[in-house]
Structure formats: C-alpha cells, structure tokens
Chains A and B, each alone.
Chain A
Amino acid sequence: MTVDVVNYVSLSAVVFFIGVAGVVVRRNPLIMLMSIELMLNAANLALVAFSRAWVNNAGHVFVFLVITVAAAEAAIGLAIVVAVFRNARTVDVDEVARLRG
C-alpha cells in the first residue's frame, strides 16, 4: 500500500516546527545546534518524499548536498561553541550578548 505524500510532508512540517521552537526557546547552544539539524532533516524528508512522488531524482541529489552542508555546518557550529565557552566560561546563550548596541 502506498502512503500518500501528504503524510510525509506533514511529518516534515511538524519536525521542522519542533526544530524552530527548539532554536528559539532553548538556551543551550548544543541543543540549538541539534534543533537546527532537526530543521535540516525535516527539509530532507520533504525533498525525498516529493522526489519519490514525482519520480524525479533531483530531490535525492539535493538531499545529498543538504546532508553534506549540514555536517559541515554542525562542525563549525561546535567549533564556535567551544571558542565561546573558552572566553565566556558559560554555555548560556543569553549570557553572551556582548554584541549588544
């Protein structure tokens, strides 16, 4: 039995918004990075679903690129977190508001 593409896309949307909520609400940078990964993967899910539905391999290819970028971005993000921690000695994002105008 084939699952309608609507279900996949709704799941993708739900996961995406959970990710958004995580970025906005949580104060721990590691949790924020994980939420960002959630958002990216939600997008991947939507891409694969549509790609399957329209029988078009472009979506699959795009997903590969997204995964790569997400990995690189996660690495850099973690490096920034480490550098910030070394200077500010805290991982609470609200405490590191030194760019305040």
Chain B
Amino acid sequence: MTLLDLLWLLPLAGAVVLWALGPQLGRASGALGSATVLASFVCALLLFGAATAPTPLQQTLLAWIPGFTFGLLFDPLSLLWTLIITGVGGLIHVYSIGYMWSDKAIARFFAYMNFFVFAMLTLVLSDNVVGLLVGWGLVGLASYFLIGFWFYKPSAVAAAKKAFVINVFGDMGIMYAVFALYAATGSIAFADIFGKAGTFSSATLIAICLALFLGAAAKSAQVPLHTWLPDAMEGPTPVSALIHAATMVTAGVYLVARFAPLYSLTPTVQEIVGIIGALTMVLGAILGIAQWDIKRILAYSTMSQIGYMIMGVGVGAYQAGVLHFFTHAFFKAQLFLTAGIIIHALHDEQDVRKMGGLRERMPFAFWAMLIGTLAIIGFPLTSGFYSKDAVIYGALEHGQPVLYFAGVLTAGVTDYYMFRMMFLTFFGPYRGEVPNDQLAIATPEGAAHAEAHAASHPPAWLMQLPVAVLIVPTIVAGYVSVSFGSGPSPWTRFFGTSFSVANSVAGPVLPIAEWVSSTIVLLVVACGIVAAYLRYGSPAVQGAAIERLRSEATGMPAPLARAFWFDDAIEVALVRPAQALGAAIDRFFDPHVIDAGVRDVAWLAGALGALFRMLQTGLVRGYALTIVLGAAAFIAYFATLGALR
C-alpha cells in the first residue's frame, strides 16, 4: 500500500464506513469524512516532490491484458487537481459539519461527499482512458446523489435527473473517444496514446478530440449543455461549492489539458473549443445579471469562469487556463461557502431581493464576500487578477483577437453582476420582512422556512474557519505565476514539459504588451463597477430599493428571463417528443404488442393443448389401433427402404 494508493483509497474507505455505520455515527460522521479527505491532502503534499520530478510518479495497479493496464499517474497536472480536490474539499467537508449540523441525514451526506472525492481522484489520477472514464461516470453519479440529497423536494430530484441525463449525453462522446483511441493504438494508457498521436489520421484526431470535448462540454456546463448547472443549486451549498464550482465542473478543463498532445495537433478542434468556451463565458455573464437567487448568480458566474478556462486551454494557453482553474477553485469555493453562511443565518433565504443591509449584521460574511468578489473580477494583486489576465492575454497571444475582446468585455459584465449581488445583499435597507408580492417574488410566503430550526446551532467557527482559510489563497494564489527575477515563474517550472506542444503561436497577433492589456481590462472592469453602483449601490437608489427591484423583476427582458430559451428549446425538441413517445408506447405498444404477445403465447399453449386433447379419447381400442397403424407405417417405410436398395 503506497502513499499514492492511500491517497486514492482513503476517501473510498470513508464513504464505505459512513454508508455502513452512518446512522450510528451521527455528527461524528462529519469528523470522519473530513479526516479522510484531509489525510489524502497530506499524502498529496508528501508526494509533491515525486510528482514534479522529471519522471512523474506512475504506479501500475492491474496489468490485465496487453494494452489494458490500469494504473495511477501522479504528474504535475494530476497533482494540482488532487491538491485542490483534497485541500479545498477537506475545508468544505469541515464547513459542512456546521452547515449540515441539524440535518438528520448528515452521515449520508458525508458518505456521498467522500464518494465524490474518491471518484474525482479516480478521474484525475488514472494513467489510462478507461480509468478516466470510470471516474468520469462516478462523479456524475456522485453529483446526482448530492444534488438530489434532499430527495423529498421534487425540484431537487428533477435537477439531479437533469444533471445526470445531460452528463450521460456527454459521456457518449468520451466513450466513443475511448473506443477510437483503443482501436487506433491498441492500448488504453496515456503514455502509449500520446506516443502514437502523431500517427493518427487527421479525421481520427478530429473525431476523437471533438468527442472528448462533447464530454467536457457536458461536464463543465458549456453551451449548449449548460442548463443543468443553475438547477444543480438545489443541492446543499457545500455541494455547490465543491462539485459545481471547484472540482467536478472543472473535469472538462482537466480533460482538455490532459489531452493537450492530441489537441495541439488539431487546430480546427482547438478553435471550436475556444469559441465554445468564449460563448459560454459571455452567456454565463449575461445571464448572471438577471438572477435573483444568490446561488444562481454564483452558478452562472461559475459557468462563465469555466468558459474562461476552456477558452484558455482551447486556444493553447494551457498554463493560463489551468492557472485560472487554480485561483477560481479558491475564490469560487469561498464565495459559495460565504453565501452558505448568509443563507444559513437568514434561515434558508436565498433571494437577494429579500436581503439587504447585511453589512452590519454579518461583517465576516461581508468582508469575505468582498474579497472573493475582488478576486473574481480581477482586482489588482488578487489571485484572479493574474489568472484572468493570463487567460485573456493568452487568447491574444495565440492569435484569437475576437476571443480576446470577448474576454475583456465579459470581465466588465462579471464585475457588474458581482457588484449587483454585493450591493443587493449587503447595502441598503434589510428587506427580509417585506411581503413577497411587493418584490414580485412568485413563491408563497414561508416556503423558504420549511426547515424549521432545531434547538442546537453549530459552533460558528466550523463554517467561518474554512472561509477564513480560503481567503488567503484567494488573494495570494496568483503570485505563483509571477516570476520574481529572471527565471520562469514557479507556475511554469511546476508544469515543466507537461504541455510540451503547447504555447505555440498561431495566426496574427495584435502587438500590445501584457501590461497594456491588463490596463484595458481594468478600465472595463471599472466601468462595470460604476454601472453597478449607479443602478444598485448609490444611496438614492437604495432608498427606492423595493420599487426598483419589483420593476426590474417584472420588467426582465424575455431573453434573460427565459435564459435565452435553452431550457425551452430542449423541452420542445427533446423532452416533449420523448414524453410523447413514452405515452404512445404506453397507450399502443404496451397493451397491443407486448401484452398481446404474452396473451397470445398463453392462447397458443391452450390451443395446442385443445388440439392434442382430441387424441386422448380414453378408448383402449383406439390406442391399440394407433399402435397398429404406427407399426404398419414403420414397417412399410423400412420395407420400401430395403426394397429400393
């Protein structure tokens, strides 16, 4: 049992124990669940040197048949993801002890969370495509479990199903790619595949890369497979933080980064990836400005930020895209966890229209959220500043000026919706007591208070400590990409030759320096903040908050209110035909073909029986005659046979 095995299997052990003994453990399950994940984090730290060595750590688990060896690979890319999964994941587990304090199914929650960590680790630690596929499927399953955790809520169940179905649709792509890669190389191991990548025909490469991206698009909520992510906010907030912000949705980014040797050989697919990433980036930001649920704002924000990452790795700026994953994991998790603190304190109120003025009531949440917001908008000296600018400038470096401008503009929209959220949540009068219809809220009064509060409350530090811990990397994580001195930055040195064929410039490039680009972005961001302030933040506006919110809610333009009709389009194009097909089968095929078939088989048995019953006369003489005739026929046959010979 090596350290790597331990790293990988501890969360699984935790999940199994929690599933088996959960009801007996009660709240202690939180401690156990957190302990396994944090222990894995420690293992990852201990293996840091081994992973960044010139030959990364590789361990074969099972050599089955030639070409089918399963093993674990611990190179810089998987190390990075592992550190985030177990580190941020461990902090979120600790936070969940507080968040799920009064939930009766707390043990089941931690079992699922540990299972998710195990599945995600399987995904990033596999050294072969089949193991990756297994992990891919298992995280989808874990996501289904966790989104639908409160399974007595129909909306949660529907959201879980939606997420799972859309993910399975993407899984088709990965499966095809796995089959195609095996057919082309005779092996499932990354090493063999990347070694033979040069021998693939252009058509094969394009097909495989597109298929892989289909899976990545589904898992990472890229347009048009993004519709499941906002609905996934039905799950508990720690779930949203871990799965739908920091880790699972970044699996697509991991996939493209891992398959960089293949993607670098297909500029066509790279362009498609970049465009879809940019499209998602823009769409997520635009839709973020129209949301009223604090978690949905963050969900669309996640979608947009992952669009940044995908755009980054799509154009070939792998280090930039992965850097943004790194920083985003910290500040997005921290934003979600802080939102959870607010939701918990307001007794499950999630609508920002009913918040306001929380700056004085919850100073910790305010400052935490402010720091997170500054990071996500790319405020100078925060981590987001470095990673966002790296991605945006990377688009320019790799010859994609259109995507560059999309990135710059989206930065402006990003800070607009983030500060909208900040102003509505923390400034102005508190609107929690305002009746729902005055704010144009559709849900009935008291629906948000369904979970009546138990007598015991969690100690505040359980939820505040993880947030406080996350604030530090939210600010400083970006510094690893800065090269102090003449050599390459620690970030570049960390990755070494991981993306060996990356960072090649293709196409014309606008000749502006990086600092000029950063300044342009900052100017756009400043405009966004001013716009948000004028619309939501200024004292004059705050005074008339209720009326303004009501008019905004009722006057929301149709494209924003219907999320550009993606859900409606899928409903009309896929869901309704499927339901109609099901209804038709239920009405015609089932009773008249299936049931009829079974009935007819029974009828046939009866009919044959009736036929043969006619032989059973009960008359001995009749039987004797039958014997005689049969014997006669027998003898006649053999007599003629003999006579003919």
B63 within 8 A of partner (CB): no
Size of interface on B: residues with Cβ below 8 Å to A:
12
Contacts A94-B619, A99-B618, A101-B618 hold; do A23 and B613 have CB atoms under 8 A apart?
no
- The answer to whether B153 has its CB under 8 Å from any CB of chain A is no
* B616 close to A101 (CB less than 8 A): yes
- Chain A residues closer than 8 Å to B625, beta-carbon distance: 24
User: Does B616 contact A24, Cβ atoms closer than 8 Å?
Assistant: no
How many chain A residues touch B (CB < 8 A): the figure is: 14
Q: Using CB atoms, name the residue of chain A closest to B617.
A: A100
Contact A27 B621 (CB under 8 A): yes
Other-chain residue from B614, B616, B628 in contact with A99 (beta carbon distance below 8 A): B616
B13-42 CB mask vs A (1 if < 8 Å, else 0) is 000000000000000000000000000000
Q: Which of A23, A98, A100, A101 has the most B CB atoms < 10 Å from its CB?
A: A101
1/0 per residue, CB under 8 A from B, across A1-26: the answer is 00000000000000000001001110
Contact, CB under 8 Å: B618 / A100? yes
> Which single residue of chain B is at the shortest CB-CB distance from A21?
B628
Residues facing A in B609-636 (CB within 8 A) are: 613-621, 624-625, 628
Interface residue? A83 (CB, 8 A): no
Rounded to whole Å, the gap between the CB of A20 and the closest CB of chain B is 6
Complex CA gap A53/B443 in Å reads 112
Q: How far is the CA of A98 from the CA of B619 in the complex (A)?
A: 9
Note all chain A residues with C-beta closer than 8 A to B618. 96-101
**Inter-chain contact A96/B616, CB cutoff 8 Å:** no
Q: B residues within 8 A CB of A101?
A: 613-618
Closest B residue to A17 by beta carbon equals: B628
Complexed CA–CA distance, A98 and B616 (Å): 10
> A34 on the interface (CB 8 Å rule)?
no
Choose from B616, B619, B624 the contact partner of A23 (Cβ within 8 Å).
Answer: B624
Q: Check: A93 CB closer than 8 A to any chain B CB.
A: yes
Cα–Cα distance between A93 and B620 once the two chains are bound (Å): 7
CB of A95, distance to nearest CB on chain B (Å): 10
CB neighbours of B621 from chain A (8 A): 23-25, 27, 93-94
A66–B293 Cα distance when bound, in Å, is 101
* Nearest CB of A to B598, in Å: 26
Q: When A27-B621, A93-B621, A94-B621 are in contact, do A20 and B628 touch as well, CB less than 8 Å?
A: yes
**Which of B615, B619, B624, B628 makes the CB contact (< 8 A) with A97?**
B619
Give bound CA distance, A24 to B628, whole Å. Answer: 9
B617: A residues at CB distance < 8 A: 97, 100-101
Chain A, residue nearest B625 (CB): A24
- Cα–Cα, bound, A100→B615 (Å): 9
Q: Which residue from chain A places its CB closest to the CB of B612 in the assembled complex?
A: A101
Q: Write the chain A residue with the least CB distance to B610.
A: A101
Name the residue of chain B whose CB is nearest to the CB of A94: B619
A100 to B616, CA, bound (A): 5
- Among residues of B, the one whose C-beta sits closest to the C-beta of A29 is B620
Per-residue B-contact encoding for A33-65, CB less than 8 Å = 1, 0 else: 000000000000000000000000000000000
- Can you sample 7 A-B contacts with CB below 8 Å? A23-B624, A24-B621, A24-B624, A94-B619, A97-B619, A99-B616, A100-B616
Task: Enumerate the 6 nearest inter-chain pairs by beta-carbon distance, A residue then B residue, closest first.
Answer: A101-B616, A97-B618, A100-B618, A101-B613, A99-B618, A93-B620
Interface residues of B, Cβ cutoff 8 Å to A: 613-621, 624-625, 628
